[in-house]
C-alpha cells in the first residue's frame, strides 16, 4: 500500500493467506489522506489508492476512485443523495493485473523452466537446493534458562 506524508493506513482483520468471505462486510484496510486543502487531500488519496495492490478479493477502490474524480465531489457540492444521483460511479472495469500476471509468469519460468511449445535455446538447468547444516554448537544460556534453573533470586542477580 501507498505510504507517505498525509497518508494514514488503518489495518483491518486481514493478513496474508486470510480467507475473506463474501457474506460479511470486512475491512481489509482503511486509507485516509490529509492536506492543507480538500483538493490536495483528494489527490493524495487518489495516488495512494492507485498504488495499493490487493489480490484475490474484490474491493471498492474503483468506486472510490470514481467518486474522487467526480466534479461535484471535488467541488464540495456532494450531498447525501450523491451516489444515488450518480449511478455512473458504479461503472468501472476490473483491473487487468498485468503486473501480477507478469510476475507469476516469470516466477513460473524461473522455478519450472521453459514449458512453451516451440521454445528454443538451452533448457533452464535444474538446481538441487543446498540445505544449510544445523549448527553443532550449543546455544548460549539465556535469561529463561537462568529463571528455570536458579529461580527468581538467580534471575534478579543475572539481570
pTM over 0.85: no
Say which range, 22-36, 80-94, 125-139, has the weakest mean pLDDT. Answer: 125-139
CA-closest candidate to residue 31, choices 70, 73, 72, 59: 59
pLDDT at residue 135, as a whole number? 72
Measured between alpha carbons, how far is 158 from 48 in angstroms, rounded to an integer? 49
pLDDT at residue 25, as a whole number? 63
pLDDT tens digits, one per residue of 47-58: 999 988 887 778
Domain ranges of the chain: 7-99
Residue with cell 456532494: 78
pLDDT tens digits, one per residue of 56-93: 778 889 999 999 999 999 999 999 999 999 999 999 88
Cα–Cα separations (whole angstroms), residue 86 to 63, 72, 76, 89: 11, 10, 15, 6
State the alpha helices, DSSP H only, in 52-126.
61-68, 71-74, 82-85, 98-112
Name which CATH class applies to 7-99: alpha beta
Evaluate whether 45 touches 31 at the Cβ level (below 8 Å).
Answer: yes
Amino acid at each position: 500500500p501507498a505510504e507517505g506524508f498525509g497518508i494514514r493506513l488503518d489495518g483491518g482483520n486481514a493478513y496474508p493467506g486470510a480467507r475473506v468471505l463474501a457474506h460479511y462486510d470486512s475491512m481489509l484496510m482503511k486509507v485516509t489522506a490529509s492536506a492543507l486543502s480538500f483538493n490536495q487531500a483528494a489527490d493524495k488519496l487518489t495516488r495512494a489508492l492507485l498504488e495499493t495492490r490487493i489480490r484475490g478479493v474484490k474491493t471498492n477502490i474503483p468506486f472510490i476512485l470514481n467518486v474522487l474524480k467526480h466534479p461535484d465531489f471535488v467541488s464540495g457540492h456532494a450531498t447525501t443523495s450523491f451516489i444515488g444521483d450518480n449511478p455512473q460511479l458504479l461503472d468501472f472495469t476490473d483491473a487487468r493485473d498485468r503486473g501480477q500476471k507478469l510476475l507469476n509468469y516469470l516466477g513460473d519460468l524461473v522455478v519450472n523452466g521453459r514449458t512453451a511449445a516451440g521454445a528454443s535455446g538451452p533448457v533452464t538447468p535444474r538446481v538441487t537446493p543446498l540445505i544449510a547444516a544445523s549448527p553443532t554448537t550449543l546455544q548460549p544460556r539465556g535469561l529463561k534458562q537462568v529463571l528455570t534453573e536458579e529461580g527468581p533470586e538467580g534471575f534478579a542477580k543475572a539481570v
